[in-house]
Amino acid sequence: MLGIRFIKFESTVYVIHYRNGTVKREGTGLSFCYFAPSSSIAAVPAGSNDLPFIFNETTADFQTVAIQGSLTFRVTDPRRLASMLDFTVDLNGQYLKNDYEKLSQRLVNEAQTAAAAFVQGLPVRDSLRGAGRVETTIMDGLGKSAAVAMLGVEVLSVNILGITPTPEMSRALEAQTREALQQEADEAIYARRNFAVEQERKIKESELGTEIAVEEKKKQIAEKKQEAEVAAEENRRRLREMKVDADVAVEEKRRALIDMQGENQRKEADARGYALGATLAPYRDMDWKVLMAVGREGLDPRLNVALAFRELAEHAEKIGTLNMTPDLLESVLAAREPHKDKAK
């Protein structure tokens, strides 16, 4: 009505109200009435914003990689940004121009410029593994960029979501990596088999060592057994020698005993002979006939007959004829029989 309008902005929008070319009011989240024919309003987003980006760069080995990520920024000097870009809104609060996209594109260009110098100095493999370093490089480049400072913008963070090569290079790298992994797998299989062979060799050596130890033990046992048998045989020989020595000693003692007994018997016989000789000495020179006559009374009748026959035999040359009657012989034999029975 009569050109007077009311407008209201969010708390994250920095508002600059120009009237007749001068700043009437400014601040965040303002709501006010203004005279439209002589007023101009700029609304600068003051909150933090996320800006996704993706661009291609060439590595040191002339391979193209795509760098995808996002950066977070906020406007620190809205008045400066409003002087660089057009953020004027209409009566309904809609931007008359789309300069916010220009801001985004300038920030992406600065990020690409900062990343290009770094990626172009790396081979493709290092580039694919260098996301963290690319983030740091872009962050440092935006922080030192004069264009970003002139826009009154502060970059809060940079995140690299991925660095990918072209499909052909990706397949080549996958094939090379696959072959390398296959080679590592083959080497692992070879190492495992070699380890198994080594372990088998160690087992065989251990078994052989065990067999050698067992044979050595058996040899030692056999040697000890042989030594024990030799010692036992030596002990048996010594026992036999001791037995022989004992038998010899016994025989020696027995011989000495026999010699002593013989000597005693000889001495006893000598003593008896001497005694008998001494007893018979008075009768040695006497005639046996006298002796027979002296002891005739106690003699056996057969002895008398025998003496008679002896005397006859001594004078046989003087005897012409000798008659012996059966009665005489019968009496001699009859007299002999009782003596036989008595002896029996």
- Tell me how crowded residue 260 is: count the other CB atoms within 10 A of its CB: 10
pLDDT of residue 292: 60
Between the two ends of the chain, the Cα-to-Cα distance in Å is 197
More confident residue, 275 or 59: 59
Instruction: Dump pLDDT digits (tens) for 179-218.
Output: 888 888 888 898 889 989 989 999 999 999 999 999 999 9
Asked whether residue 222 carries a pLDDT value surpassing 50, the answer given is yes
Tokens of 326: 């059966």
Question: Which residues are CB-contacts of 30 (< 8 A; sequence separation ≥ 6)?
Answer: 8, 9, 15, 17
pLDDT value at position 274? 78
Contacts of 260 by beta carbon, 8 Å cutoff, 6+ apart: none
Average pLDDT of the chain to the nearest whole number: 83
pLDDT at residue 338 above 60?
A: no
User: Residue 271 and residue 176: Cα distance in Å, rounded?
Assistant: 137
Question: Which domains are seen in the chain, by residue range?
Answer: 4-165 (3.30.479.30), 287-343 (no CATH)
What is residue 344's predicted lDDT score, i.e. its pLDDT?
44
Cβ pair 130, 69 in contact under 8 A? no
Tokens of 165: 């090569």
Quote the tokens at residue 218.
């058996």
3 conformational bin, left if phi > 0, alpha if psi -120 to 50, beta if neither = left
pLDDT digits (tens, 9 = 90+) for 254-308: 888 888 888 888 888 888 877 777 776 766 666 656 656 555 555 566 666 666 7
Which pLDDT band, with edges at 50, 70 and 90, does 343 fall under?
very low
The more confident residue out of 319 and 141 is: 141
Give long-range contacts, CB 8 A cutoff, 24+ apart: 333-336: 335/301, 335/302, 336/302
At residue 289, the pLDDT reads: 61
Q: Tokens in use for 66?
A: 């795509």
